[in-house]
Amino acid sequence: MKLADHGPQSRAEFLERLKHIGAERYHDRHPFHKRLHGGECSPDEVRAWVVNRWYYQSRIPMKDAAFMSRVEDPQLRRVWRSRIEDHDGGTDEGGGIRRWLALAEAVGLDPAYVASGAGVMPATRFAVDAYVRFVRDMPLLDAVAASLTEMFAPKIHAERIEGLLKHYDFADDSSLSYFRNRLNEASKDVEFGLNYVLDRADTLEKQDAAAAALTFKTDVLWAQLDALWHGYVEGAIAPGAWRPGEGLAIRSPELAEVP
């Protein structure tokens, strides 16, 4: 027997449902972030986070390019391409990924080593690659919905700026510029992405798919922190992953000891 057809949730109910996913599952609740923002991470735990999170940063503009390659509507491409510009920037000045490497340098790592991706943990790679594939292969609505974890990012970026400035000597305006820039960039992306999803998820089936996409993305973020905890707090570093002492900046050895 066919189940009774249910209509879509109202816009307000659906928005609440998406926010609830963030409240329950976003990675601001992960113990690694509490440790990082509370000043309890050792210098090497901070470096491990910077090395691994680099992989996420480096793949974000690639996933946005994968998204755009599938978009037939020029207006949607015009809006979306600013995401790539935010991360890659211009040929001379660079953008977010270069600002991430400034953070890498500030914590005593050689930016060239970080950018090579050599020390990234296998679990980080699997999680991030799964996100890029999801965006490449799934319906556009699901792909946009997956980016909506950014709704919850400004809060964690503000907490991070405050926590790092308070607890770690390496933190200053220049090393944290990545996060300051994201505060503005993310709000413009979210405004567009959220309206796109609320407008187009006009059946319960599409709303379910969008909610599942957002849930999947919270898993992508959470899994990366689980791996960091296992590798660097519990000390079970995966074969081939960064080990303390590797990839340090040669030209500023005094930074090797910064907290």
Residues within the interface to ligand PQQ (CB under 6 A): 60, 147, 149-150, 153, 156-157, 182, 221
Nearest to 35 by CA among 168, 193, 190: 168
What is the distance between the alpha carbons of residues 79 and 58, in angstroms, rounded to a whole number?
Answer: 20
- Of 147 and 207, which CB lies nearer to ligand PQQ in the complex structure? 147
**Smallest distance, ligand PQQ to C-beta of residue 157, A:** 6
**Smallest distance, ligand PQQ to C-beta of residue 110, A:** 22
**Smallest distance, ligand PQQ to C-beta of residue 7, A:** 30
- Of 33 and 249, which CB lies nearer to ligand PQQ in the complex structure? 33
- Of 35 and 249, which CB lies nearer to ligand PQQ in the complex structure? 35
**Smallest distance, ligand PQQ to C-beta of residue 47, A:** 17
Q: Point out the residue whose Cβ comes nearest to ligand PQQ.
A: 149
- Of 177 and 248, which CB lies nearer to ligand PQQ in the complex structure? 177
Classify residue 235 by burial, with Cβ atoms within 10 Å: 0-12, 13-18, 19+.
Answer: exposed
What is the distance between the alpha carbons of residues 112 and 104, in angstroms, rounded to a whole number?
Answer: 9
Torsional sign, CA 141, 147, 151, 152: positive
What are the backbone angles phi and psi of residue 39, rounded to the nearest 5°? Answer: 80, 15
Amino acid at 70: R
